[in-house]
Amino acid sequence: MNSRRNFLRQALFGIAVVAVPGSALAALPPAFLFHPLGPGADLGLGWSLQRIFPPHEGAITLNLLHTDGRVARVDVCLRNGAARGPASTPLLDFIVMDGGDGTAPMDESLGRVTRRLAAVAADNESMDLDRIVDLVPHTQRVWAHPDSMAAASLRMAPGAPSV
């Protein structure tokens, strides 16, 4: 765990880490990444951020809801090399958990709001590296939790039974 923490610190190349003790940002472990957005926030294009889950199996899970009833699960993982999802930051990769292999076209509006979430996270990710130390790259998650990753598109909550 210390080596991952050190890696994250070194990856920022001297960018100052700013802690925000006692603020509303500390309400949920990963919520600081998406500040000022929170559950219920309108992301535009009909999408809203419904829920932010704490890290589970190496990723933070976001539930998104569209006004037409569509739902989307986006897992935020540690970025390792080239981005694998439709959006990324210097440290994070945003993976849409839709059961695909990343080659099929994605709904443009979902891609755009995922990029918006990544832009917000990019502004906040260096605030508290200790709170993202439990994240791992998506490829590592697939190898470590193959059954869970295969069923992830059927579950909006990490670790919940498939629907």
pLDDT digits 0-9 by tens, 115-153: 999 999 999 999 888 888 899 999 999 888 888 878 887
Residue 3 structure tokens = 């080596």
* Tokens standing for residue 74: 């986006």
Q: CA-to-CA distance for 60 and 68, rounded, in angstroms?
A: 25
Section 39-52 average pLDDT = 97
Residue 162: what pLDDT? 58
Write out pLDDT tens, residues 49-92. Answer: 999 999 999 999 999 999 999 999 999 999 999 999 999 999 99
Average confidence (pLDDT) over 37-47: 97
| Domain map (residue ranges) of the chain | 2-154
HEC sequence for 80-124: CCCCCCCEECCCEEEEECCCCCCCCCCCHHHHHHHHHHHHHHHHH
